[in-house]
């Protein structure tokens, strides 16, 4: 207390949570993105658009809405307004009429007009990830065209030059798992296992036939949301069949996939 006035102590500042460290170095991340750019030089998203401007509009409309719903609303809109000038001429009320089938359409109509007026080419943080090529072997034979001696060739459907990291990132993209999530590499049962964001995804791409019931049980006990194995990695057919049953017993919420 000073001169009859009680001084309040300033509340201590909260420390920002530590940013999770990536498993990969900057050079490795650059190599990952380089492979993406080679594999899919022209990535195609689900949102329909006719030019960069309409893509920005579609992205702005996609908040709390499905891509299918946005596409249904924008097909007619983009036929009459596919540039900022045409969108401004159309006006907020008519834009609202076009997009009223999607959520929050009133505010979204205002935002579309605003971005048309204020310069839509500013950096909105959009980044596209591209992949080199599929990790899977291309099979051009029909069953009746195969000879018995060729069957052994197709036991493993993964291209021989692909690494575990190649497979991991393709699985993450296929499943829609954020590529920026932290990745940790552990050893379970003597095998290398990747854990994405602790329990978002667990992946074992061993190709030497070492995945047995013991390893599967140990992995299932971590209760990941998703688990993926390499088909060639299972010790035998019984281990592959048992994997699904083991996860049903120990971690029924896990989505299990085999490459």
pLDDT tens sequence across 160-215: 767 888 888 888 887 777 777 788 999 888 889 999 888 888 999 888 888 899 99
178 with 92, same domain: the answer is: no
Instruction: Quickly list DSSP for 161-216.
Output: T--HHHHHHHHHHHHT--TTS-EEEEEETTEEEEEETTTTEEEE---SS-B-HHHH
CA distance 21 to 19: 6
Tell me, yes or no, whether 113 and 147 share the same domain. Answer: no
Question: Same domain, yes or no, for 148 and 58?
Answer: no
What are 122's two structure tokens? Answer: 């500013």
**CA dihedral angle for residue 79, residue 80, residue 86, residue 87, rounded to 10 degrees:** -90
**How many domains is the chain partitioned into structurally?**
2
Mark which of 118, 151, 170 sits at the end of a domain. Answer: 118
pLDDT digits (tens, 9 = 90+) for 113-162: 988 887 666 555 544 555 555 665 554 434 444 454 444 444 456 677 67
Residues 172 and 113 in one domain: no
Find, among 166, 157, 135, 138, the residue nearest to 34 by Cα: 166
Identify the domain containing residue 247 by its residue range: 143-258
CA distance 231 to 31: 27
């Amino acid at each position: 207390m000073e001169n009859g006035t009680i001084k309040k102590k300033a509340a201590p500042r909260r420390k920002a949570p530590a940013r999770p460290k990536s498993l990969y170095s900057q050079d490795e991340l650059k190599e990952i993105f380089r492979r993406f750019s080679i594999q899919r030089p022209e990535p195609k998203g689900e949102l329909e658009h006719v030019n960069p401007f309409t893509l920005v509009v579609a992205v702005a409309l996609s908040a709390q809405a499905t891509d299918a719903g946005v596409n249904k609303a924008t097909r007619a809109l983009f036929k009459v307004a596919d540039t900022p000038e045409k969108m401004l001429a159309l006006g907020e009320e008519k834009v609202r009429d076009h997009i009223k089938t999607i959520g929050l359409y009133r505010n979204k109509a205002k935002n579309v007009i605003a971005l048309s007026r204020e310069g839509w080419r500013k950096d909105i943080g959009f980044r596209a990830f591209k992949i080199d090529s599929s990790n899977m072997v291309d099979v051009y034979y029909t069953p009746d065209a195969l000879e018995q001696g060729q069957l052994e060739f197709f036991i493993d459907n993964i291209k021989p030059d692909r690494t575990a990291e190649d497979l991991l990132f393709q699985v993450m993209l296929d499943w829609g798992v954020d590529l920026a999530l932290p990745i940790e590499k552990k050893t379970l049962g003597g095998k290398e296992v990747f854990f994405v964001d602790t329990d978002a995804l667990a992946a074992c791409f061993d190709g030497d036939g070492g995945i047995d019931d013991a390893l599967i049980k140990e992995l299932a006990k971590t209760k990941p949301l998703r688990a993926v194995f390499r088909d060639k990695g299972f010790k035998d057919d019984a281990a592959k069949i048992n994997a699904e049953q083991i996860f049903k017993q120990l971690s029924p919420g896990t989505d299990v996939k085999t490459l």
